[in-house]
Every structure is written in C-alpha cells, then in structure tokens.
Amino acid sequence: MSKEVPYTDPKKLLEALRRGEERAFEQVYRSCYRQISSMARSNSGTESQAQDLFQETLLVFLGKLRDPAFELTSDVCTFLYAIAQRKWWKQLRKDSRVDLTLDEQGHPTELPDVGNLEEKKAFEEKHRLMSRVFAGISEECRRIIVEFYYQKKPLQEIAEKMGLDYQYIRVKKHRCMNDYKKRIRAHPDFKGL
C-alpha cells in the first residue's frame, strides 16, 4: 500500500487542512489513525467507534485551525490524540452515567430535556438550510465570505491572494452577504423555521 506523504512541511500540511484538501486528510489518517484507534479499542471501543471518534476529532481540530491565533506546539498526531482521548473519556463517562441513572425497573431516572433537544434540532436545521443556500451563491462570493467570516482572514490579505483591489473586495463582501441573505429570505423552507 503506498503511503503518500504529500506535505513534509508541517506548516503546509496545516494550510492544506485549512483548505479542506482530501490528500491532507488522508495524510493525517495514515499518520495518526492507528494510535487513536488503538486507544479507543483498548478502552472498550469497537473499530467502528474508533473510526467515528477519529472523524469527530479531526473536525474539532479543523475548528481549532480556524483561529488565526492558534499555534500548534506539538505534532499533529499528539494533538489529535489528546483531543480524541478527552472525547473518548467523555463518551465513556456519558455512557456510564446513562447506566447509573436507571431505576429498579430499568427506566432512566433522568429523562433528557426534550425542549432543549427540539431547540437544538431546529437550530441545526436552520443552519443546514443556510449552508445549502450558501452553496448556491457565486464561487467568488463563497470564497470571500468563507475566508473573511470563517477563516477570519483580513480583507487586505484576501484581496491580495485573489488579485483584487481592496476597495473592490470591501464592497464585494457586502454585496455577497446581501445576495446570500436575499436567497435565505426567498427560500421556501425559511419561514417554517
């Protein structure tokens, strides 16, 4: 099996991860998965749970990379392992809490807060709808908005990278946001949320 290591420079690997490049994800899988899988499987986990844990860990890590102030002082695998370990112990604690709160008849003594769950579901549905709408705006707009709002890059840097004038991109960002909002308002499912 070929073990591709497209990014030998750690900084470039992090940049590629920020861009969501599949080959960067693959490199991280090949380098870091075994350790995390072994940790989960040695602690009551199955292979399939280990795979889910790794995916969620990677998403948490990508979330951290959004913060421009974030600096990685250890290697990626060590960092992922630490996240995975915390997540896994949290999961185990959660599972054991469910077991411990069963009454004599085996019914849970603490019922989940349905109101909160429904609120959470509605919140997620709304953002999923917005995500679908956002996918429909122009590529240029998506790039500007993602880099500005999600990756928190300064407009000047985005303008330079895209080869655009600062004033142009400043106005363009507002136009893009305006277009995005208009599309949200016009979506047939929006009012139901």
Partner 1 sequence: MADDYQQTERISRYLEGDMAPAERQAFEAELEQDEALQKEVGLQKEAILGVACFVEENYRHAIQAVAGRLKHEGFFLNEENIRDYLRGNLEESLRAPFEERLKNDPAFAEEVRLEKDMLEGINLYAGGEEAQKIQRVRQRLQEEGFFPGQESPPKGKVVSLSRRRLIAIVASLAILLAAGLYLFLPDSGTGTYAGLYEAYYRPETAVLPALLDQLEASGFAQDAEQSRQLADALQRYETGAYAEAASALSTYLEQYPQDREARLFLGLAGLETGQYREAIPELRAAGKAAEPQVAAAANWYLALALLQTGKAEEATALLRQLAAGDTRWSGQARELAGKLSAMD
- The residue ranges that bind partner 1 (CB under 8 A) are 1, 3, 5, 8-10, 13, 20-22, 25-35, 37-39, 41-43, 47, 51, 55, 58-59, 62-63, 71-77, 126-131, 133-135, 142, 145-146, 149-150, 173-175, 177-178, 180-182, 184-185
The burial class, CB within 10 Å (0-12 / 13-18 / 19+), for 66 is exposed
C-beta of residue 17 within 8 angstroms of C-beta of residue 65? yes
The burial class, CB within 10 Å (0-12 / 13-18 / 19+), for 137 is middle
| Shorter beta-carbon distance to partner 1: residue 110 or 119 | 119
CB of 115 vs partner 1, minimal distance in Å: 20
CB of 149 vs partner 1, minimal distance in Å: 5
| Shorter beta-carbon distance to partner 1: residue 15 or 26 | 26
| Shorter beta-carbon distance to partner 1: residue 8 or 105 | 8
C-beta of residue 57 within 8 angstroms of C-beta of residue 32? no
**Distance of alpha carbon 48 from the chain centroid:** 20
- Tell me the CA distances in angstroms from 29 to 10, 20, 187, one per residue in order: 15, 14, 38
- Tell me the CA distances in angstroms from 71 to 30, 117, 140, one per residue in order: 23, 34, 29
CB of 168 vs partner 1, minimal distance in Å: 14
C-beta of residue 102 within 8 angstroms of C-beta of residue 56? no
| Shorter beta-carbon distance to partner 1: residue 85 or 164 | 85
| Shorter beta-carbon distance to partner 1: residue 26 or 164 | 26
CB of 52 vs partner 1, minimal distance in Å: 10
CB of 174 vs partner 1, minimal distance in Å: 4
